[in-house]
Structure 1
């Protein structure tokens, strides 16, 4: 695959980095003695993710999934076809500069497979290093659409933002001709979501407008009234930070939920109690929660992670998928980067979310998504599946 970069949503993170003096050395393929290549005796994989910092919980979910996924994919041997798989872990602390330093160190040691990263900014920086040094890179929970089709060396083991937005649109039977209002903070995050909804749901025929709120606002009644006055068919909320509780409360008090469906994304378990009185009124789009499906491999992952002392959560599948992809790439490509890329392009496999396909043209990971609600369970709230949304209903636009 040779991809020409086209910007999708948001701005590309520019990272100044020096190219290593030499590209990563090619794998030292052994010789069977009869002219056949048996591959190297071992391959080292570099995992760069947030073990500390603001996204440490996401990093831990990924690591739990990866470690148990590697165990699962290799039957506990950490090797495939006689090739030992070694893993070296690096903490990026959510800092692109630290991630670039870690990537350079690993590549300098001869590592030509990198994976991980919870932050989109970090992932963009590592992806740049992967392209410059011709190594395979599989991003983790980082959701930025710009990673898809960024370069021929970059893949992803999780979903991307446009799949979230497309899932929001499935809460209406037919999005064509319907009015969708984005309710968000007037920040890069909010503006990015506004652009995403316009690009994705607008392309499906929706009329998209927005109510953007300054980040320092603490009184949300006028904005809730503005939502009602616009008479949308769907409200898509993209919000972050300390004012979330007050914002949701205002929507409840002003009767927004009585007038129109309100959709937002459901994050990891730590966020389930953050919606106050709105909790059982919100319709959630969701990437994953442990009870989202009854696939056998999902049950296996949950058991493996639980038995190891972890808690399966939102981004556990990203790590598990990464391990499955890496084992397949090494088995088919024997550590040679071009051969491993070819092995992954178009690859369809069973993961914790069912059947997943790596689109050959731009490396998007095609997968089902979920509609979810939160229900009271004692003193806590737990997610309950409304419906699984088939992959072809939420496929991201192809990057050409």
Structure 2
């Protein structure tokens, strides 16, 4: 455990490690984990301190994403409190817990914090972890703010769960903006024949298929190294839009094959823009691909909040990246919950966040009251340069309401 009282002292950056994905099941909590404890309230309630538990991947496969989130959170807290580390006289104390991408470790850490009277939990780099943290928050009536974990299942799951990043539905709607009118158009999803790939096929069918597009797929075995046959299948299908969902070390070979087979010149090809470490993967093909983007430095157009994040993270020795805004936004939400809600009453915190429209790193954003979706702008980008010199350039911004996921009622 690392504990830090946030004030005018700037946070140190953490070590960068590798990326990937993880997952799994829901667990409950025991009575021993109930918030607030006994004996007249927690120490935080008695001394006026608001204690926030930051449970995220400091180590493990998603540590790079975790670092981005954590750096953004610390910069956001400094900005939102005007460098004081306090909200209306309440000191904000942040306790960091490493879940290493393991749902069991995350739940154990969260229960420990809840048992000590923590009313606010934030973080969560991995979707599998988020799906365990959300019910824990509802059972214990604590405020839980999800981080980069993008699973759509978190939205509307219960009254105590919010998110500070985007969700998968918003990614696909952003891809849809590049298709235009979906009805009668042909979309091919190119992915690996894996859980990840099949989930992307299902998502594109659910979103763009529902809007009238004809959605097909080309799935390659994850072990395939010769990807030319699959590139040929995509071209033969003659799609209006190719949606590529690919992970792993064969990505450079995939993009080379698509370029060599003329797929990138035949129509619109779109994929997600990951962090800066991924830019060289596309090689010479990068300039021919359209990227749906959650965020990249500069995407916000240099608005005042984005500038505060970029400056704050850089001054602390970090490097802003894909998920830095998720942490910054979470800190804004914590400050809003305390300032306009309560330092101790979770229900008041929830009410303060529901329906809140605010200026964020990406521009104007809104927390939808009925299901706590974070409605936000999304971006379309292209890469200029190649290899180590590749950098993203903003092509267009999709307004937040254009890429808002459909509302669903909260589970309460």
TM over 0.5: yes
The correspondence for 1:156, drawn from 140, 163, 178, is: 163
CA distance in 1, matches of 2:73, 2:267: 40
CA distance in 1, matches of 2:27, 2:75: 35
Which residue does 2:31 correspond to in 1? Answer: 20
CA distance in 2, matches of 1:39, 1:205: 58
Q: Is the 1:305–1:312 Cα contact (8 Å) retained in structure 2?
A: yes
Tell me the number of residue pairs that the alignment of Structure 1 and Structure 2 aligns.
Answer: 382
How far off is 1:277 after superposition? 2.6
Which residue does 2:298 correspond to in 1? Answer: 291
1:324-364 deviation digits (Å, cap 9, x = unpaired):
00001011221211111111111111110111100111110
CA distance in 1, matches of 2:41, 2:31: 23
Which residue does 1:71 correspond to in 2? Answer: 78
CA distance in 2, matches of 1:313, 1:46: 23
Q: Is the 1:297–1:350 Cα contact (8 Å) retained in structure 2?
A: yes
How far off is 1:230 after superposition? 1.1
Q: Is the 1:29–1:40 Cα contact (8 Å) retained in structure 2?
A: no
CA distance in 1, matches of 2:388, 2:222: 31
Q: Is the 1:19–1:133 Cα contact (8 Å) retained in structure 2?
A: no
Q: SS of 1:204's equivalent?
A: coil
TM-score norm. by structure 2 comes to 0.89
CA distance in 2, matches of 1:247, 1:192: 19
Which residue does 2:224 correspond to in 1? Answer: 217
The correspondence for 1:310, drawn from 301, 318, 323, is: 318
How far off is 1:218 after superposition? 1.5
Which residue does 1:247 correspond to in 2? Answer: 254
Q: Is the 2:33–2:112 Cα contact (8 Å) retained in structure 1?
A: no
Is residue 183 from structure 1 mapped to residue 190 from structure 2 by the alignment? yes
Which residue does 2:380 correspond to in 1? Answer: 371
Q: Is the 2:152–2:167 Cα contact (8 Å) retained in structure 1?
A: yes
Which residue does 2:371 correspond to in 1? Answer: 362
5+ long unaligned stretches in structure 1: 1-11, 31-37
5+ long unaligned stretches in structure 2: 1-22
CA distance in 2, matches of 1:228, 1:70: 49
Q: SS of 2:327's equivalent?
A: helix
The correspondence for 2:405, drawn from 374, 396, 400, is: 396
Range 320-329 or range 302-311, more displaced = 302-311
How far off is 1:377 after superposition? 7.2
How far off is 1:150 after superposition? 1.0
CA distance in 2, matches of 1:230, 1:180: 9
How far off is 1:261 after superposition? 0.9
CA distance in 1, matches of 2:27, 2:76: 34
CA distance in 1, matches of 2:52, 2:81: 14
Is residue 349 from structure 1 mapped to residue 361 from structure 2 by the alignment? no
The correspondence for 2:276, drawn from 269, 273, 276, is: 269
How far off is 1:223 after superposition? 1.2
How far off is 1:26 after superposition? 8.0
CA distance in 2, matches of 1:393, 1:182: 22
Q: Is the 2:192–2:220 Cα contact (8 Å) retained in structure 1?
A: yes
CA distance in 2, matches of 1:22, 1:115: 17
Q: SS of 1:240's equivalent?
A: coil
TM-score norm. by structure 1 comes to 0.92
How far off is 1:152 after superposition? 1.1
> What pairs up with 1:115-126 in 2 under 5 angstroms?
115-126=122-133
Q: Is the 2:279–2:387 Cα contact (8 Å) retained in structure 1?
A: no
How far off is 1:158 after superposition? 0.5
How far off is 1:76 after superposition? 1.2
Q: Is the 1:39–1:83 Cα contact (8 Å) retained in structure 2?
A: no
CA distance in 2, matches of 1:151, 1:49: 21
